[in-house]
Structure 1
């Protein structure tokens, strides 16, 4: 409501001043400013939906790119069948809780140092 009043007052003042400055008398206001019944922006539902769609597409795209650029060897079959290499050994999956127990325990994680005889 206030913004429409300010715009209309500005137009009236401009109409009077421009006539004097430019020496013309045919300046008129085409249409006065009016207040919209519903706000033009922001459209919360549309913005939420657009954000959801864009976020979903970005997430899927990043997951796809990460999968394509992953060069980790995950199976022995890939080494032997695809690459024709011989597997020298396999490292089993390490349980994180077991690692924490060993790190924070008082037991030594290493053996005795080599001794000379």
Structure 2
């Protein structure tokens, strides 16, 4: 590796150490913000995440593809939805009930799945079974189609399908971490305390001969063109002021 490459590598190492120092110095701020956002995310997910449950039934329709499409559309027809609402005494409209139901064909076969999503797992199973039964009856009475067979009944499923609480909490923690680190570096940029000799050299453009505690960047910049520091006998001496005193 050439001299230029070594110098760049050294600069990167120094910058990385400086970043780590800032994070260590203000770690408590980062931790507090992460805890706050994580707690808020958990509370939000608990109060706003309504669990949803799904249950499905399957029917076999012995028909050609085109007629099967018509029969699949019929499953969610308002007439059948109204029959299900009346049978189960549901407090909803045919359109509202239809929105809870999805109908799909299994792998281009004659098997049709009726999937119901509801906030009540028992209700989801009851709606699925009632929909299949009323569809079979309506297909026979309205279309004189008798080739609908119930393949499997819907069963109770008590496992929610929208368990996203962990994801919400993780996202809240990540946002808190980014905000905490950002705030830490922002506060560091407002801090005018000089902690390293290299900072003095960069601000004044001259090498450091001695050091004094608790210098401030703003004060040092104001004196940049007016004051030259040197160290004599363990003390910091203002050369210009000393020269002015000698002239007197």
Instruction: Output the TM-score relative to the length of structure 1.
Output: 0.42
- Bigger relative contact order, structure 1 or 2, given CA contacts below 8 A and separation 6+? 2
Instruction: Output the TM-score relative to the length of structure 2.
Output: 0.24
Larger proportion of strand: 2
Larger proportion of helix: 2
